[in-house]
């Protein structure tokens, strides 16, 4: 098999950890698998680099920001290659520009345009482990770029697609994707498999196992992704073999490859939401547009939206959510447009949480929402806003109810460990 093995920051946090991660690589090489490795920076290093650039000059040139923050991965790629070599495994490090992994020029949040994997593939086919510095690429103008925080996952998936790898193993500090956050529900279960779409919802809703963009890419290119723990003893893990399901971790895969068929696969929650209430606006065509157009122009994403029934037929209230970090800016944008919108009051509230039930089974099962709302009502949990997609129902509730809501829904949909 051709494998891409990605090691996150905690898996390369120091030399001992890199050595342990290298043992996982050795196991696969010894079993005859061809391997490309992608590494993150040592845990905490990228944060340090980011804060140095800000300290140097808050209005820094984004091209130089990328020159600085991409460097953490250069270090771990070199160290991993050295350690593999010390174990008798031929290995070579590759930086983004050496591959080359070509991105657009959006520094700090660059998108991958193409990977010319030819030279690397030749090296891998010749029996060398390619150790790729994650998170970084090169722009058409030949400057170093970075892919956004958490971007090494995307590097790994993009490599797997470019090399046509059989699987992309993401080694991290948890042993897979869980039905919900085990810190809230101790009886949460590891999912042996999860579909791309469910994983996308989980990732964008705060389950921080994979960068959202990496899941989108895996789905678009059909890359099978195995999330697993680098802290598992490398010697007792089975090497990857074609046609054999992995016993450890969670396989992120196509819906048609799912084994179990639950209606609901997981419960996610996101605390970084803020609620905005625009009170007593005129109930007439164009009012919603007068609120949401300026927000869109300011690049502020709106998520859940509720418009109340107008009691007097003339005025109404509108409630919606934005990312908590955008709240001050969103309120300012609306205040600036008060002449158009003409609200009687504007309120912001960050004391809310978005709790979601996710499952591809919802496509074919009716009544999930009703069951969910009923259970929350029984617990006296008030729902402030609702949004749905084909495979997800989200409710906004007071942050104080986070644990109660997650626990209630986790048992309601039969996800507790038996």
Going from the C-alpha of 331 to that of each of 231, 270, 294, 325, the distances in angstroms are 45, 21, 11, 11
- Whether the CB-CB separation of 409 and 372 falls below 8 Å is answered with yes
- Whether the CB-CB separation of 45 and 9 falls below 8 Å is answered with yes
Containing 320, the helix (H) or strand (E) segment is strand 315-323
What residues are paired with 112 via a beta bridge? 103
In the list 150, 151, 266, 359, the residue contacting Mg ion (rule: CB under 5 A) is 150
135 binds, among Mg ion, ligand ASP, none (CB under 5 to 8 A by kind): ligand ASP
CB of 35 to Mg ion, least distance (A): 20
Give the CB-nearest residue to Mg ion: 150
Nearer to ligand ASP, 135 or 269 (CB): 135
Nearer to ligand ASP, 156 or 202 (CB): 156
Q: Please, which residues have CB within 8 angstroms of residue 256's CB and are 6 or more apart in sequence?
A: none
CB of 42 to ligand ASP, least distance (A): 9
> In whole angstroms, what is the distance from residue 416 CA to residue 53 CA?
45
329 binds, among Mg ion, ligand ASP, none (CB under 5 to 8 A by kind): none
72 binds, among Mg ion, ligand ASP, none (CB under 5 to 8 A by kind): ligand ASP
- Chain residues binding ligand ASP by CB under 6 A are 9, 40-41, 46, 72, 134-135, 149-153
Nearer to ligand ASP, 65 or 413 (CB): 65
Best CA proximity match to 230, nearest among 303, 295, 173, 148? 173
Stretch touching Mg ion by CB under 5 A, among 7-15, 184-192, 274-282, 324-332: 7-15
270 binds, among Mg ion, ligand ASP, none (CB under 5 to 8 A by kind): none
CB of 105 to Mg ion, least distance (A): 24
Best CA proximity match to 21, nearest among 81, 70, 90? 81
CB of 14 to Mg ion, least distance (A): 17
Nearer to ligand ASP, 89 or 144 (CB): 144
Nearer to Mg ion, 212 or 319 (CB): 212
> In whole angstroms, what is the distance from residue 269 CA to residue 396 CA?
10
> In whole angstroms, what is the distance from residue 123 CA to residue 138 CA?
21
Residues that bind Mg ion (CB under 5 A): 8, 150
């Amino acid at each position: 098999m051709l494998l891409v093995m990605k090691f996150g920051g905690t898996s390369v946090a120091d030399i001992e950890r890199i050595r342990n991660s290298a043992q996982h690589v050795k196991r696969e090489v010894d079993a005859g698998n061809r391997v490309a490795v992608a590494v993150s920076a040592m845990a905490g290093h990228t944060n340090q680099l980011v804060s140095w650039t800000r300290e140097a000059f808050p209005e820094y040139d984004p091209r130089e920001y990328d020159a600085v923050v991409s460097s953490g991965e250069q270090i771990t790629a070199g160290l991993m290659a050295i350690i593999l070599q010390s174990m008798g495994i031929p290995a070579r490090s590759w930086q983004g520009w050496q591959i080359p992994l070509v991105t657009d020029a959006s520094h700090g949040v660059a998108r991958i345009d193409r990977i010319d994997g030819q030279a690397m593939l030749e090296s891998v086919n010749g029996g060398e482990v390619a150790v790729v510095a994650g998170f970084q690429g090169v722009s058409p103008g030949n400057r170093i770029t970075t892919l956004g925080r958490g971007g090494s996952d995307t590097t790994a998936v993009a490599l797997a697609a470019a090399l046509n790898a059989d699987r992309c193993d993401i080694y991290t500090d948890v042993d897979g994707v869980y039905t919900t956050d085990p810190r809230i529900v101790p009886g949460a279960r590891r999912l042996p498999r999860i579909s791309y779409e469910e994983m996308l919802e989980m990732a964008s809703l705060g389950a921080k196992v994979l960068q959202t963009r990496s899941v989108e890419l895996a789905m678009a290119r059909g890359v099978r992704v195995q999330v697993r723990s680098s802290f598992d003893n490398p010697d007792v893990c089975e090497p990857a073999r074609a046609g054999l399901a992995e016993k450890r971790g969670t396989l992120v895969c196509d819906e048609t490859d799912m084994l179990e068929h639950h209606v609901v696969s997981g419960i996610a929650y996101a605390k970084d939401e803020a609620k905005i209430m625009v009170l007593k606006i005129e109930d007439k065509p164009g009012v919603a547009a007068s609120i949401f157009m300026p927000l869109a122009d300011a690049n502020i994403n709106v998520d859940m939206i509720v418009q109340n029934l107008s009691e007097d037929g003339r005025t109404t209230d509108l409630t919606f959510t934005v990312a908590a970090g955008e709240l001050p800016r969103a309120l300012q944008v609306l205040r600036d447009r008060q002449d158009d919108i003409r609200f009687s009051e504007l309120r912001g509230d960050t004391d809310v949480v978005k709790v979601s039930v996710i499952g591809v089974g919802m496509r074919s099962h009716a009544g999930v929402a009703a069951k969910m709302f009923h259970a929350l009502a029984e617990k006296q949990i008030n729902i402030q806003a609702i949004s749905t997609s084909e495979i997800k129902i989200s409710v906004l509730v007071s942050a104080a109810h986070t644990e109660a809501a997650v626990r209630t829904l986790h048992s309601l949909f039969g996800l507790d460990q038996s």
